[in-house]
Structure 1
Amino acid sequence: MHDLEKVIEKMDFRYFGTGQHKMEAETFLASENAVLLDVRAKEEVETIKLTLVHHVQVLEIPTHEVPQRIHEIPKDKLIGVFCSAGVRAVIIFTYLKSKGYEQVKIVLGGYPPLMEAVMPGKLYKKLNK
């Protein structure tokens, strides 16, 4: 069983120093078999909706709904947790790790790096590989 204490005990200097918990937005969007878990509030999603059709699947579950909807989050895919500033992403990353999810990363930086990763030039290169 992966309880919170066991997850936290593994988060030592080496863990953070090697960056096992995080991933740059551009790197994540290039991943195969991945899902972006958007944990922003409904109101935020209504304002800026992320579809990322040419990159990865997006699953929208507000932070406070994750415990009740955890069954919707696949364990067999890389899960990139995203929010506007990173705070909620860290919370849900830790929660998912405590529930046995092994392939979970925090997508770094909020909106700016995500928007940079989908700029026309980068999207063009992705679509014309």
Structure 2
Amino acid sequence: MSEIENVMRSLTFEFFGGGKHKIKPNEFLAKDNALFLDVRSKEEANTLSFELLQHKIPVLNIPINEVPDRLEEIPKDRFIGVFCSSSVRSSIVYIYLRSKGYDNVLILEGGYNSIAEEFKPGKLLKTIKSKKQ
């Protein structure tokens, strides 16, 4: 039995109904030892990129079509939030990473709109103040 089949069998109604496959951006940005995995194309990432310096979270852009060839760049010892513009590519990469033994991986919920909310001045100021303490 292939690993992808095992992952597919775990994707039950309870799994999706309980939201076990996704995480809200504010929850992800508060995580320790996190990695923001951006699976958008190079063109998209070059147009709108993320650094997350104030959140102290590294960002890795690997377009979805390059993930299989660059899998070794994605650390298994970090909490991985997979991001794309609308969660379609994130969902595909989520399944792929799970099939490759990545246990601490979730889809960043909401795409651009949801993540942009976390970078508004009030929320960013709170983040900066909390990181200084």
- TM-score bracket, normalised by the shorter chain, equals over 0.9
Provide the C-alpha distance between the structure 2 equivalents of 1:107 and 1:98, rounded to a whole number of angstroms: 18
Provide the C-alpha distance between the structure 2 equivalents of 1:116 and 1:2, rounded to a whole number of angstroms: 39
After TM superposition, the structure 1 = structure 2 runs for residues 70-109 of structure 1, keeping only pairs within 5 Å, are 70-109=71-110
2:82 maps to amino acid: V
**What is aligned with 2:114?**
113
1:14-71 Cα distance to aligned partner (Å, 9 max, x none): 1112111100111111111000100000000110011111121111100000000000
2:62 maps to amino acid: I
Q: Which ranges in structure 2 are unaligned for 5 or more consecutive residues? A: none
Once the two structures are overlaid, the 10-residue window that deviates more, 118-127 or 99-108, is 118-127
1:52 maps to amino acid: L
Provide the C-alpha distance between the structure 2 equivalents of 1:49 and 1:102, rounded to a whole number of angstroms: 26
2:64 maps to amino acid: T
After TM superposition, the structure 1 = structure 2 runs for residues 63-74 of structure 1, keeping only pairs within 5 Å, are 63-74=64-75
Which secondary structure state, in structure 2, belongs to the residue aligned with residue 118 of structure 1? Answer: coil
Runs of 4+ more than 3 Å apart: none
TM-score, scaled to structure 2: 0.94
Provide the C-alpha distance between the structure 2 equivalents of 1:43 and 1:2, rounded to a whole number of angstroms: 33
Change (3 A) 1:58 1:15: same
Provide the C-alpha distance between the structure 1 equivalents of 2:84 and 2:71, rounded to a whole number of angstroms: 17
Provide the C-alpha distance between the structure 1 equivalents of 2:44 and 2:128, rounded to a whole number of angstroms: 28
Give the root-mean-square deviation of aligned CA atoms.
Answer: 1.1
Change (3 A) 1:40 1:104: same
